[in-house]
A and B are shown apart, each in its own frame.
Chain A
Amino acid sequence: MIAAPVAGAAPTLSVEVNGAPDTLPAGATILDALRAAGVHLPTLCHDERLTPIGVCRLCLVRVQGWARAVPACSTPLLDGMRIETNARDLEDARRTALTLLARRYPADGVERDPHKEFHRAILEHGLERELLQASAPGPIDRSHPYIAVDMSRCIDCYRCVRICDEVQGQFVWHVRDRGLDTQIVPDGPSLFESSCVGCGACVDTCPTGALDDAARSRLGAASAWTNTTCPYCGVGCEMSVGARDGRIVAVKPVLDAPVNKGHLCVKGRYAFEFVGADDRVLDPMIRTGGQWRCTSWDEALTFAAARLGDLVARHGPDSVGVLGSARATNEENYLAQKFARVVLGTNNVDCCARVCHAPSAAALKHSLGTGLGTNSFDDIEIARTILVCGANPTENHPVVGARIKQAVRRGAALIVVDPRRIELASLATCHLAVRPGTNVPLLNAMAHAILAKDLVDRRFLEARVDGVETFARSVEAWTPERAAVVCGVDAELIRRAARLYATRAPAMSIHGLGLTEHVQGTDGVTLLINLALLTGNIGKPGTGINPLRGQNNVQGAAHMGCEPNTLPGAASPKDGRAVFEQAWKREIPSTHGLHLLHMMDAALDGRFNALWTIGYDVLLTNANASETVRAMRALDLVIVQDLFLTETAREVGSVFFPACSSLEKDGTFMNAERRIQRVRQVVRPLGQSRPDWRIICDLARAMGHGELFDFREPEAIWNEVRALCEGARGMSYARLDRGGLQWPCPSEDHPGTSILHRDSFAAGPRAVLHGVAYQPSRESTGPEYPFVLNTGRSLYQFNAGTMTGRTPNNALRPSDLLDMCPDDADRLGLSEGDTARVISRYGSAVLPVRLNAGVQPGQLFATFHTPSIFLNSTTGSHRDGATGTPEYKVAAVRVERTA
């Protein structure tokens, strides 16, 4: 009936649309040809993100010589096609199909929201009179805080079902019954009680009002849309934010965004109401006699400048320090470290990378010459094997998690190293449920297995790697059998995983804090790099070592120099000093500088007197909270710059600078794949709040250094960064406008760098394998503390909960939970929902118990999102040897039932 596609199709296709000739690239569909020709047809079941299924039959066209009319959306374009769209019978059929749908569709929805695709089609065809005037029967489900369901408006296009399957991979929407009785239903009694993860993809694609943002009825429709980068995790999704009367009312994903390709997660898509939360601090404040008092910017700045100046004068510049922020832009972090080095004259500057991926940066820099993640998210679709180590992307980096799930659906092998049976583990080819704190022996054993079976990439080793012999000796004793005993993972499983990673190339490694937040965090990452080097899985598409950075701009904060021994562009003080001293006309201090944890130590010793913390709740997030409190209390001055009165501000703050959120300012963020993306102001800063960059400039001016901080807008700051950092030179705001660019991008005609270390390493032509000896965690379990507590994050809350905790996400996850395997719970007489006290050597916390068979016996997992629970009271003071990153993932505890 229909000609089969011709083999070796021509690179361009010559076709005719309604008599007008046109040429299109191979791989196009008929719909592409229609769009190129400016022919508009309603396409109600079509969405660029989905495999076309051609079911609404509104885009039917006729191809000369073909017996049946075909849907343009799902029919590949072939060379020589002559396409007709306006034959009488096609137009009749289109009208009839729309009429048929209109006859059972309530009219009021069309009036309320004429822009929805289906409504537009009805209006364009003048079929308003066909609409149902009464309200139609159909299940209405208002259970979900974000997604309103009214299936009386469903036209059975299946877009919701398909996007949930094909993009989010959650399979929430099911189709029940058939024909006209077809119903789209969630996989639970209500959407709230279903497996829905609230990504809103179905809402985004639904062409009618059947699935809609619940907030719409409360907040109204947006009147203007602005594209910006998500304020949450390090994936860095691009989103379009809708505002109305100076208020954010909606968020949509950006369809052609390189990172998220038209997808978002529940946080980015829905958790925006923190911006206007009732308890947002909108005035500068000074605390006197224990009481906060609102004041003017002038007074607050003058006060802070005087105190800082005084302390520096009395105790020397190294008695004060600044913390940059992962929530602040690159421009602002650049200014923060510049302030520390130029205004205060100290290298005491750090950011929250210290408590998350500092080990990744240190190990990558040591082994490969740069601390940046090596590849891009687009490599997920290329990799044939994906190794996820100590990361739970489907909860904490959901858009990347969804991409991994789809890759697995398409046939990628997945290896998961994680003590818990996380969602990805249930999809994995191999799940290595490693005992917390034993990543090093496990990875050593994988290297052993690869070397023992000679699965290494010989040519790669010969060309680019040194130290193979020495390294091989270092893992010789780590047979999988020996590691099995230490790690609690079957030796054969270790071998199988090693074989997969080594032989099913390209293999991509993705890791998270489960690898870094250990006393051997840096060592663990080093070993992961060794595996990649041994097997040639680096410098190529679909490979690499890819830390999933936690916060949207934690990568940028560190990269802009918010670390004691790093200058902007991750330059070392040794190499970078000259350039920056010349530009800043100041000498860069020669002392090493204190990182965050050392600042705390020094404070306890009385050697550190003041801290300016920008967008960082140190008290709530540092491990071993009681020690942190003592350290912070010892300070003479704590300047807190934030949106809210954080725990740090409440406990120890002296001055409060009200900052504004990233939705209220301009700038750039750098995501986990080194992509610099624009942040754009959606609404004006609320109240007296100011962007961080302005506050830093203001304080610099108040301290008499205005000339080096004379910026009118973020672009000027960025241009200074570009002038000083070669890697940023090519990234003008104009070029960043669409989709951003990946660091390094040294010139205006450079496309940016999607894969590092292609031909040689940043460090030189050859990398060195570094052997690592195993040092067990010093957190020992025993009769008094029989459990190992592992801490981490979850889907619906973000880190310390500062933002998500002020949104309806609370309805989706009201509290931190203590996950425990049912057997252990049984033994302790605990059941689901009981409250328990977790007691460690450092402190205790009380929280509800959740039974979770994915947690191993003897282990516990809890999140740290809820300030009132304050889980970090229980985490310990052990630190990664190389970077000081606390061991959040291992604490010996006992659990007691509370009354």
Chain B
Amino acid sequence: MCTKGIHVVFFVSSCFRGPVMIMEPLLTKYVREPNCFTLDFYLKHEGYEGLKKALALTPDQVVEMVKASGLRGRGGAGFPTGMKWQFVDKRSPNPRYIACNADESEPGTFKDHLLMERNPHLLIEGCAIACHAIGARVAYVYIRGEFFHVQRVLERAIDEAYRAGFLGRNVFGSGFDCDVYIHRGAGAYEAGEETALLESLEGKRAQPRNKPPFPAVIGLYNCPTAVNNVETLANVPLILRNGAEWFAALGPEKNGGPKLFCISGHVKRPGVYEASMTMTLRELIEGCAGGVREGRTLKAVIPGGSSVPMLMPDQLDAQASFDGVQKAGSLLGSAGLIVLDDTACMVWLAENLLHFYRHESCGKCTPCREGTDWLHKILRRIERGEGHMRDLDLLSSISGSIGGKTLCAFGDAAITPVLTTLKHFRHEYEAHIREGRCTLPASWRARHAAGAR
């Protein structure tokens, strides 16, 4: 399920509601153009106009604009970006920093990769505007350890931007100085957690810090820092170019702007789709991605990367917005929609995901370090048909002692696959235990085993 190290070709497309295209793609419009990542190409398409406009405004005005645009963080939590910038401590005598979270490691999520590879200047422009907004002079882009290729593309783009005067000293003659640096991680899911990311940037192990204090007050090198996701920052130039109202109107209330959805799993056309958050999940899955394969039925959808609760087929008419998905009982998270058809064994799924979480737990805090391992051991036991009924209570009670009790949100993420499959598919667990094996047809199981490790 984790895409680490696998080269995947994705469909990239805008979204249609029925036959009607409801939104012109903005972030990904040109990604198929051969030279879309070059500065020349970018400049022909309003490149760095947003920065120019931003520099004519005061930082506070930029923050106000972003607040009014309804832009919410695309990294997972959906926190309003303008508000995050406003919290950056302005009274501190220390420098301030932008840290762009490009660690993209959430299973089922592959949008930031695309943006950086095909539209790097959009991110760089976003970084520069963000720096201006919070009074920083330096932005660090922390990219995932496996993204060698992306690093090269970004570095080239940054060089171009320096040479053209969009970065460096006195940008646009405004007196604004801005440097953007790339730092590639060593390959750890947890490095995407914002405080772990800061530790890693500082050259330490990617392990999170206790919050409070939040990075906005004590962040990188103990200085006020805003941590923003790639897609979040990539939206910022659009707001500056076209205005906050325009941006807000692209989506439902408080869910402004375009959104990238990563649709993977048992669909006909997996890929990255850019759409308005006014769409429903069903429209995305059935319309854009073509629905599940012939002869199969939809079993469940994990709508926000592997760390959020599942939705059942009858819940898919929920709006694909932060608020809409939450109302339906899950979270939009990183907008990685993992679609599962009836061939998916839910015990296997939980075991597979817990294998991932157990492996990725940073080990800093006891419940997660020890608990994910124990959960995984129990799940493996059940999956192999060696479980007991009392294991199901054990799974719930261990999960209960991890949820909300760990240092960072990883713990909550890690127990979600267990709790959500137990909630909706307890009968599959019971069948495994009763029968001593998976009760799905043997041909399907073979595929699971092959993909698992």
Contacts and interface: CB of A to CB of B under 8 A. Distances in A.
Interface of A: 1-2, 4-5, 52-58, 60, 67-71, 74-76, 89, 92-93, 95-97, 100-101, 103-104, 155-156, 158, 175, 177-182
Given A93-B401, A96-B371, A2 B366 contact: no
Nearest to A158: B364
A156 B366 contact: yes
A97 B373 CA distance: 12
25 contacts: A4-B212, A5-B212, A52-B210, A55-B364, A55-B407, A57-B406, A68-B404, A69-B404, A74-B210, A92-B397, A92-B400, A97-B367, A97-B371, A100-B370, A100-B371, A156-B366, A156-B369, A158-B364, A175-B205, A178-B360, A178-B362, A179-B362, A180-B358, A180-B361, A182-B363
B373 A180 contact: yes
Nearest to B190: A178
Contact of B367 (A4, A70, A93): A93
B212 A97 contact: no
A179 B401 contact: no
B180 to A, nearest CB: 27
**What 10 A-B pairs come out closest when comparing CB atoms?**
A100-B370, A96-B401, A179-B361, A182-B363, A93-B401, A179-B363, A93-B405, A180-B373, A55-B365, A97-B366
Contacts of A68: 404
A158 B369 CA distance: 13
A178 B210 CA distance: 18
A57 B404 CA distance: 11
B414 to A, nearest CB: 11
B32 interface: no
A358 B435 CA distance: 88
Interface centre among B188, B372, B398, B405 (most CB of A within 10 A): B405
Given A54-B407, A56-B366, A104-B370, 12 more contacts: A57-B367, A67-B404, A92-B401, A93-B405, A96-B367, A96-B401, A97-B370, A100-B370, A103-B370, A179-B362, A179-B372, A180-B373
A316 to B, nearest CB: 70
Contacts of A56: 365-366
A162 to B, nearest CB: 12
Contacts of B358: 179-180
B426 interface: no
A658 B371 CA distance: 61
Contacts of A177: 363
B212 A179 contact: no
Contacts of B400: 89, 92-93
Contacts, number: 102
Nearest to B409: A68
Given A75-B210, A178-B188, A180-B373, A100 B367 contact: yes
Nearest to B204: A175
B359 interface: yes
A57 B362 contact: no
A211 B406 CA distance: 26
A53 B366 contact: no
B453 interface: no
Nearest to B211: A2
Nearest to B398: A96
A179 B360 contact: yes
Interface string B369-381: 1111110000000
A57 B363 contact: no
Given A4-B217, A179-B360, A179-B362, A54 B205 contact: no
A765 to B, nearest CB: 38
Contacts of B361: 178-180
Contacts of B363: 156, 177-182
A180 B366 contact: no
Contacts of A57: 365-367, 405-407
Contacts of B188: 178
Contacts of B398: 96
Contacts of A155: 366
Interface residues of B, number: 33
Nearest to B217: A4
Judged by DSSP, the binding face of A is: loop
Contacts of B372: 179-180
Contacts of B217: 4
Contacts of B397: 92, 96
A53 B370 CA distance: 18
Contacts of A69: 404-405
Nearest to A183: B363
Contacts of A58: 366
A53 B367 contact: no
Interface string B38-81: 00000000000000000000000000000000000000000000
B400 to A, nearest CB: 7
A53 B366 CA distance: 12
Q: Which of A53, A67, A70, A180 has the most CB of B within 10 A?
A: A180
Contacts of A5: 212
A153 to B, nearest CB: 15
A182 B206 CA distance: 13
B373 A179 contact: yes
A52 B402 CA distance: 21
Interface in B380-427: 397-398, 400-402, 404-407
A68 B404 CA distance: 6
Contacts of B205: 175, 178
A81 to B, nearest CB: 13
A121 to B, nearest CB: 12
A74 B208 CA distance: 14
A67 to B, nearest CB: 8
Nearest to B206: A178
A179 B359 contact: yes
A2 B211 CA distance: 9
The CB with the most chain B CB atoms within 10 A, among A4, A158, A178, is that of: A178
A104 B210 CA distance: 26
A175 B361 CA distance: 14
A181 B358 CA distance: 10
A352 to B, nearest CB: 46
Contact of B369 (A67, A71, A182): A182
B407 A60 contact: no
B51 to A, nearest CB: 31
B341 to A, nearest CB: 32
Nearest to A44: B366
Contacts of A89: 400-401
Nearest to A177: B363
A458 to B, nearest CB: 28
Nearest to B373: A180
A4 B205 CA distance: 27
Nearest to B87: A4
A231 B369 CA distance: 44
A379 to B, nearest CB: 24
B82 to A, nearest CB: 18
Nearest to A157: B366
Nearest to A90: B405
A97 B210 contact: no
A75 B211 CA distance: 9
Contacts of A175: 205
Contacts of A53: 210, 364
* Residue of B214, B366, B374, B404 with highest tally of chain A CB at under 10 A: B366
Given A71-B210, A178-B188, A97 B364 contact: no
A105 to B, nearest CB: 11
B4 to A, nearest CB: 15
A56 to B, nearest CB: 5
B88 to A, nearest CB: 12
A53 B188 CA distance: 21
